[in-house]
Amino acid sequence: MKKSFILSIFLLLLIINTTNAESPTAQFLLVGQGARETAIGYAAVASCFNYSAPFWNPAASSFLKNAEVGFNLSQFPGEVASGYAAFVYPLKKFAFGGRIITESTKVTAYDANGTRTGSDLEVSNSNFSLNLSYKLFDSLSIGASLGSLTMNLADRKANAGNVSLGSIFIKNRIVLGFTVANLGGSLKFSDITEKQPQLYRIGLAYRFLEKKNLLAAISVENVPDDKNAGVRGLGIEYSLNQYLALRLGQKNVEDGTPSITAGVGISYNNLKLDYSVNQSGKELPDINVHRVGLSYKFGTLEGTPARTVTVISKPQRQPGEIINIAVADFAGKNVSQADASIVADFLRTELVNTGVYNVIEKANMEKILAEAAFQQSGCTTSECAVQIGKLLNVKQMIVGNLSKLMDTYYITANLVEVETSKIIASFDQEAMSAKELKTACKVLARKFAQ
């Protein structure tokens, strides 16, 4: 009975918090969302590039590669159920989305002697907001979440606006993030007015190893009106492969001892399942919080090649047949034209190494096109490829482009049959750094030679 009494008092103070005018209410807005993000010790303000972005840092939304929808569920002590759902849809410069946070429970009231008094106290809280993000530069974006906050505390009810602002900066492997959240007005109950828990988050994330599959992140969260609510987060995430990620972190709360967080992420195609466990602080020792999250990515950001392969009626090559082929200079998207041309050179070299193509040298190609007063720069369509192919007297042409999003390069190459004007094969390949571009071209050449 004594344990139930202590637990009930703790939940009342944590959720309602309307008896202490010095502390803000709506404490559920301080509970971290996202099984992945809570597994890395809440160090998420600079590493939330998924459906959790509207909560941790709305500016991160514009750096997403795909639209994403997801949710997570949490079960806290005292039968407190918490839920979070969100979606994000990125465009070229903008991103929009939305989120909803819910919390509900029933708290049994006890007197000082541990005797139950009256009926259970029903509590339900919710926060709904729309998210907007804009990329000012390729490395810097800003974002905002605008919405409403509702609290139902038995016979008391209050509403208020809820605003969060964020910014994020990316440079190579480094990410810096900053957020100020819960800027809306005060919540007015029947007999008291309470402030929202306005907070500031700042954090840094860095990717290690050649494949950038080891993430380390750190963040600091401060709640000016509640000195006991701040959080210091530290976490790491290691992606073993495209299917499995392991996470570990440490969360330090101002009024409690450090607690360990851990989790795992399992991905298959566009579907992802996340799980985390958070060790509770000194207020409720030996009681852990478990979270489960599920998300799905869909669509492809315009201008960003997907990791797909398309082959359309590719003619069978006769044994020993050597095909005359030429590679037009690639177009550059978010990269210099010089870089795009270098990648085209890489592909020419790798096609020669396959032994099944007779590749027209770049110098000879440029000479013939110059004599015909033909400008090949930016040639990415099959019609353009046919014109060049006829001038060069080749059977097939390769046209494509090189693009870059954040630190990842994407190569798209189309194989065009000059005689029929048809794209007979199309391949995409990613490179995690400039050093991997030559290897990516080698992979592409092998695919074309098959």
The pLDDT value recorded for residue 301 is 40
The pLDDT value recorded for residue 7 is 39
Report the residue count for the chain: 450
The pLDDT value recorded for residue 190 is 74
- Encode pLDDT of 415-425 as tens digits: 999 888 888 88
The more confident residue out of 179 and 307 is 179
Q: Average per-residue pLDDT in the chain? A: 83
The pLDDT value recorded for residue 320 is 60
- Encode pLDDT of 384-407 as tens digits: 888 888 888 999 999 999 998 877
270 pLDDT exceeds 60?
Answer: yes
Q: Residue 22: how many CB atoms within 10 A of its CB?
A: 7
Coil, strand or helix at 301: coil
How far is 274 from 38, CA to CA, in rounded Å? 10
Going by C-beta distance under 8 Å and a sequence separation of 6 or more, which residues neighbour residue 115? none
309 pLDDT exceeds 50?
Answer: no
Buried-state track 221-252, b at ≥16 Cβ within 10 A, e below 16: bbbeebeebbbbbbbbbebeeeeebebbbbbb
Rounded to two decimals, what is the model's pTM? Answer: 0.65
- Encode pLDDT of 134-168 as tens digits: 999 888 999 999 999 998 877 778 899 999 999 99
* Structural domains of the chain sorted by starting position, each given as residue range(s) with its CATH number in brackets: 2-298 (2.40.160.60), 309-449 (3.40.50.10070)
If you average pLDDT over each of 19-23, 245-249, 375-379, 413-417, which comes out highest? Answer: 245-249
113 pLDDT exceeds 70?
Answer: no
- Encode pLDDT of 212-243 as tens digits: 889 999 999 999 988 778 899 999 999 998 88
Band the pLDDT of 307: cuts 50, 70, 90.
very low
The more confident residue out of 450 and 252 is 252
Torsion of CA 389, 391, 394, 398, to 10 degrees: -30
394 contacts 324 by C-beta, under 8 angstroms? yes
- The crossing angle, in degrees rounded to 10, of helices 362-371 and 382-392 is 90
- Encode pLDDT of 343-390 as tens digits: 999 999 999 998 889 999 888 888 888 887 776 666 777 788 888 888
Coil, strand or helix at 351: helix
52 contacts 42 by C-beta, under 8 angstroms? no
**Long-range CB pairs of 224-227, under 8 A, 24+ apart, other chains included:** 224/198, 224/199, 224/200, 225/22, 225/23, 225/24, 225/195, 225/197, 225/198, 226/23, 226/24, 226/197, 227/254, 227/255
Band the pLDDT of 285: cuts 50, 70, 90.
low
